[in-house]
Chain A
Amino acid sequence: MSQKKPQMQVEQKVPENIVKKTARDTKLREAVAKRRTERLAANKTRRAQWEKNAQAYENEYKAADKSLIDNIRKAKSEGGFYVPAESKLILVVRIRGINTLNPQVRQTLRLLKLRQLHNAAFVRVNKATIEMIRKVEPYVTYGYPSRAVIKNLIYKRGYAKINGQRIPITNNNVIEQQLGKVGIHSIEDLIHEIVTVGPNFKEANRFLWAFKLRGPRGGFIAKRKSFINQGDWGNREDLINDLVKRMI
């Protein structure tokens, strides 16, 4: 308690610890500030690009609609019929629960990402997937989704699978992180990829978690019967849109 005190200098010396720490802290703060300005500048250019892309897609969709109408009119005027190309995209909705399922059906539903009642998922149309859907037909209803339905599904019910976790798509960083390398940077890019079934549809669809829809307002007709037989399961082509609108 009573130590021998050497003759102290009057000048105040700052302890070495504090000098070092303040130097470190200022350096860190500067780095953070620099990162922030860089990030904000980058964000600005990114947002401009998103806007540009979204506008381009809007024009593309308008052009597609217009060309469809023009073709129909042209065919009509020539006395023929215009048959538009079959849809490349199917929206599958699971309408049966989990009990007493045939194991093959169970596995196929799992492969289609339909693990739960009222789950919906996009599926590309090809021989393989058609066969899969045929296998599970009595347990699902499916059809060709319209652009509006696709858009609404992704905006309202869009969740991403990131590291095995279900992450809500609340901003475009979520999309950029996973799909940036295949050229999908914003939600409109994603929607466009799904709608047009583009070259990176696989990545885009894999990125999406299955849509968890609510039960349809107004109900089903009869899930035990096929749609063709005044029921619900199976292919209902464009009428899937009415159903899904009631389920979103």
Chain B
Amino acid sequence: MTSVPLVSVFSADDSSKVTAKHIPLPAVFQTPIRPDIVSFVHTNIAKNRRQAHAVNPQAGMQHSAESWGTGRAVARIPRVSGSGTHRSGQAAFGNQCRKGRMSLPIKVWRRWHRRVNIKQKRHAAATAVAATGIVPLVLARGHRISQVPQIPLVVEDKIESYEKTTDALNFLKRFGAFEDVQKVVSTKVVRAGISKQRGKKYRVRKGPLVVYFNENAKLLKAFRNVPGVEVVNVTRLNLLQLAPGGQLGRFVIWTQSAFAHLDKLFGTYRYTSIIKDGYQLLRPLITNPDLARIINSNQVQEKVQPAKTTKVLHEVQKKNPLKNSKAMDRLNPYAKKQRAAAVAAIKANTKGTKKIKKNKALKKASRAAYNKVAASLNDATKAAVQEEQDIKVKYFSVQKGAAQTE
């Protein structure tokens, strides 16, 4: 790589003035971003600040409770001995019992702390530092850096001599970092849960992290009371501060000497670190991140097969060719002619025949004929019909009479 990313150092008094132009970025900012390492190291390191606690070993066990055994129509759980009080005969000792001891009571000799390999810790720290130089990561972490002139923000060493908080505040305002501080202030909330009664009343967000170098710097006191701001010496960079919650991308304000010290601290890709004895920065898995270029390169494109097309052998839906003429023509182009020929044949057969119309004359004639037939019924049939009618009349008249008499 012939071109090296460059960084400007800003004047502490005036954010538009640059005291040193084009300082090369320390190699640690080039390490590959490994959120997996950071998350692993963070979850373990975060456990190291824990203080041992335990439940009272006697809790729930200060009874002479004994099980009543079987045969007394009660559960076999140990029961409080004695009499004369509600408590007697109640269940005791079990984790399921009221006033019983918890299951697996916490012991002080629980393994509170975790050790992590030094190399992993160093890789995590390096990645976290690299992430502080990547704007999208810092934004994603939630810092308000839209007005900050440069990420990573490097300022001249003058701020290390700030003693007054007003100086610190004005400095932050000048560099657009005050928005982040305001965020911290406005989102301070009372903590949910019982910890608020145990000295952790408020949940406060993280603001900028100021990193200095000189040991006798006074800026700690100046920045101490600004909500959200943390101050740390570059030799004591802490993953818990660089990636709070395991989340990469803390907003960091570097002093010039702290920034320059990073190369000695983490080493470069040419030289291992002096301070972290023998530590070599992680090398990236691929050296050329330009995937588009790799894919479109001649070497790759020569070997690549043409893109597969979904070759459809048959139509998605089967249509019945006997009913659907389009489907039929697709299969048998001769069918069209056959259909036309069939229609022509019908036309040829019906040539000369008139269309059948309702013939009123015919209808009248047929009706007359029918009546004639009806009239010429032979006498036997007539007599039978007459007899039937007589019976009907008789029946009805009898009914009438019956109704009247009754």
| Chain A residues within 8 Å of B, Cβ to Cβ | 1-4, 16-17, 20-21, 24, 28, 47-48, 50-51, 54-55, 58, 152, 155-156, 162, 167-174, 177, 186-188
Candidates A17, A174, A177; contact of B292 at CB < 8 Å: A17
A155 and B320 contact, CB distance less than 8 A:
yes
Kindly state whether residue B151 has any CB partner on chain A within 8 Å: yes
Give the chain A neighbours of B328 by CB distance below 8 A: 155
Q: How far is the CA of A17 from the CA of B297 in the complex (A)?
A: 8
B330 and A171 contact, CB distance less than 8 A:
yes
Give the chain A neighbours of B5 by CB distance below 8 A: 1, 3
Kindly state whether residue B84 has any CB partner on chain A within 8 Å: no
B7 and A1 contact, CB distance less than 8 A:
yes
B6 and A186 contact, CB distance less than 8 A:
no
A24 and B301 contact, CB distance less than 8 A:
yes
B333 and A2 contact, CB distance less than 8 A:
no
Least distance between A198 CB and chain B CB atoms (Å): 18
0/1 interface trace, chain B 323-337, chain A, CB 8 Å (1 if under): 000011011111101
Q: How far is the CA of A181 from the CA of B313 in the complex (A)?
A: 17
B3 and A170 contact, CB distance less than 8 A:
no
Least distance between B298 CB and chain A CB atoms (Å): 8
B338 and A58 contact, CB distance less than 8 A:
yes
Kindly state whether residue B296 has any CB partner on chain A within 8 Å: yes
Q: How far is the CA of A55 from the CA of B334 in the complex (A)?
A: 7
Of B298, B306, B321, most buried by chain A (CB within 10 Å of CB) is: B321
A54 and B332 contact, CB distance less than 8 A:
yes
The answer to whether residues A47 and B333 also contact, given A20-B296, A24-B301, A156-B321 and a CB cut-off of 8 A, is yes
Least distance between B331 CB and chain A CB atoms (Å): 5
Q: How far is the CA of A173 from the CA of B314 in the complex (A)?
A: 8
B334 and A58 contact, CB distance less than 8 A:
yes
Interfacial residues of chain B within 24-79, with CB under 8 A of chain A in the complex:
none
B322 and A155 contact, CB distance less than 8 A:
yes
Give the chain A neighbours of B363 by CB distance below 8 A: none
Kindly state whether residue B22 has any CB partner on chain A within 8 Å: yes
Kindly state whether residue B293 has any CB partner on chain A within 8 Å: yes
Give the residue name and chain of the A residue nearest to B338 (CB). Answer: A58
Range, interface on chain B: 20 to 34
B332 and A1 contact, CB distance less than 8 A:
no
B333 and A168 contact, CB distance less than 8 A:
no
Give the chain A neighbours of B319 by CB distance below 8 A: 170
Give the chain B neighbours of A1 by CB distance below 8 A: 5, 7, 135, 150-151
Give the chain A neighbours of B338 by CB distance below 8 A: 58
Give the chain A neighbours of B327 by CB distance below 8 A: 170
A4 and B315 contact, CB distance less than 8 A:
no
Q: How far is the CA of A192 from the CA of B308 in the complex (A)?
A: 36
B3 and A3 contact, CB distance less than 8 A:
yes
A167 and B314 contact, CB distance less than 8 A:
yes
Q: How far is the CA of A168 from the CA of B301 in the complex (A)?
A: 38
Of A2, A16, A28, A156, most buried by chain B (CB within 10 Å of CB) is: A2
Candidates B301, B322, B330; contact of A156 at CB < 8 Å: B322
Q: Is the interface of A mostly helix, strand, loop or mixed?
A: helix
Question: Which 8 A-B pairs rank lowest in CB-CB distance, beginning with the nearest?
Answer: A54-B334, A168-B318, A170-B315, A51-B333, A51-B334, A170-B314, A155-B321, A187-B331
A-B contact pairs, 24 of them (CB 8 A): A1-B135, A2-B6, A3-B5, A4-B3, A20-B301, A50-B333, A54-B334, A55-B334, A152-B322, A168-B318, A169-B314, A169-B331, A170-B318, A170-B319, A170-B330, A171-B315, A171-B331, A172-B331, A173-B313, A174-B314, A186-B332, A187-B332, A188-B332, A188-B334
Q: How far is the CA of A238 from the CA of B319 in the complex (A)?
A: 29
Q: How far is the CA of A198 from the CA of B318 in the complex (A)?
A: 28
The answer to whether residues A50 and B321 also contact, given A2-B6, A177-B313 and a CB cut-off of 8 A, is no
Give the chain B neighbours of A3 by CB distance below 8 A: 3, 5-6
Q: How far is the CA of A227 from the CA of B317 in the complex (A)?
A: 38
Interfacial residues of chain B within 310-361, with CB under 8 A of chain A in the complex:
313-315, 318-322, 327-328, 330-335, 337-338
A156 and B320 contact, CB distance less than 8 A:
yes
Given A2-B6, A174-B314, 9 more A-B residue pairs with CB atoms under 8 Å apart are A3-B6, A20-B301, A48-B333, A50-B332, A167-B313, A168-B315, A169-B314, A170-B314, A170-B331
Interfacial residues of chain B within 280-314, with CB under 8 A of chain A in the complex:
292-293, 296, 298, 301, 306, 313-314
Q: How far is the CA of A169 from the CA of B320 in the complex (A)?
A: 10
Give the residue name and chain of the B residue nearest to A188 (CB). Answer: B332
The answer to whether residues A21 and B315 also contact, given A2-B150, A187-B332 and a CB cut-off of 8 A, is no
Least distance between A6 CB and chain B CB atoms (Å): 9
Least distance between B398 CB and chain A CB atoms (Å): 53
Give the chain A neighbours of B292 by CB distance below 8 A: 17
Kindly state whether residue B8 has any CB partner on chain A within 8 Å: yes
Q: How far is the CA of A106 from the CA of B334 in the complex (A)?
A: 42
A54 and B8 contact, CB distance less than 8 A:
no
Give the chain B neighbours of A177 by CB distance below 8 A: 313
The answer to whether residues A186 and B331 also contact, given A4-B6, A4-B22 and a CB cut-off of 8 A, is yes
Q: How far is the CA of A148 from the CA of B395 in the complex (A)?
A: 65
Least distance between A176 CB and chain B CB atoms (Å): 10
Q: How far is the CA of A3 from the CA of B7 in the complex (A)?
A: 8
B334 and A50 contact, CB distance less than 8 A:
yes
Q: How far is the CA of A156 from the CA of B306 in the complex (A)?
A: 38
Give the chain A neighbours of B22 by CB distance below 8 A: 2, 4
Q: How far is the CA of A168 from the CA of B318 in the complex (A)?
A: 6
Give the residue name and chain of the B residue nearest to A175 (CB). Answer: B331
Q: How far is the CA of A177 from the CA of B312 in the complex (A)?
A: 12
Give the chain A neighbours of B7 by CB distance below 8 A: 1-2
